Amino acid sequence: MAKIKWSTEPTGRRVVIDGMITAAEDLTELASGSPPATPLTLDVGGIRAFTSSGIQAWLETLRQLRGAGCRLVFERLSPAVVRQTMSIYDFLAGGAIRSVLAPYLCPACDAEVEEEIAVVDPPPAVAPTRRCTCGTDMDFDDLPGPYACLLREATGRPS
């Protein structure tokens, strides 16, 4: 089940979502907690998975927010969110993307790291490796194509 943490900032409301999105009740607070016509920043770096009913609830909740006039901004797209974004049309309901989390795995010590990549123009390349604290090169732990495509699209550049 998802955990949702709200905070208010000078630029609008901010939500941090962690866990697995499983059903509509996971997102009830999200749909009811944001006043219309305000920016809503969603930090989705902690989302680890979606069930099929969770995907439906997610899509409906974001459509409700957008319909109420909320401007959606997404930060720290986790690998689970990146996969869904690349598989399902309008998964982010037209929201802007500020950054994604690129997953890396160390073959020597099994350390896992998610490195935040900011959306900038021109889009940055996704590094195939990064240095682990043990001194070994960590490998990118997903398919790099969807990340590169998403970063390009987020800057408004064609794929």
144 in any annotated domain: no
Cis status of the peptide bond prior to 124, with omega within 30 of 0: no
**For the chain, what percentages of helix, strand and coil (3-state, to nearest 5) are there?**
30, 35, 35
113 in any annotated domain: no
Tell me the C-alpha distance between 38 and 110, whole Å. Answer: 42
Q: Which two tokens stand for residue 116?
A: 């935040």
112 in any annotated domain: no
Which residues contact residue 5 at a Cβ distance below 8 angstroms, ignoring those fewer than 6 apart? 15, 16, 18
Q: What is the 8-class DSSP label of residue 125?
A: P
31 in any annotated domain: yes
46 in any annotated domain: yes
Q: What is the pLDDT of residues 127-141, one digit of tens each?
A: 999 999 999 999 999
Specify the pTM: 0.88
69 in any annotated domain: yes
Check if the beta carbon of residue 41 is closer than 8 Å to that of residue 75.
Answer: yes
Encoded amino acid at 70, one letter: C
**Does the pLDDT at position 33 exceed 80?**
no
Indicate the average pLDDT of the chain: 88
The residue among 159 and 95 whose pLDDT is bigger is 95
Q: What is the pLDDT of residues 41-99, one digit of tens each?
A: 999 999 999 999 999 999 999 998 888 888 899 999 999 999 999 999 999 999 999 99
pLDDT at 23: 83
Beta strands in 3-159 (DSSP E): 3-9, 12-21, 39-50, 71-75, 96-97, 99-105, 112-118, 129-131, 137-140
Query: Regarding beta strands 137-140 and 129-131, do their DSSP bridges make them parallel or antiparallel, or are they unpaired?
Result: antiparallel
What is the domain range of residue 50?
1-97
**Does the pLDDT at position 11 exceed 70?**
no
User: Number of folded domains in the chain?
Assistant: 1
Output the domain CATH number for residue 93.
3.30.750.24
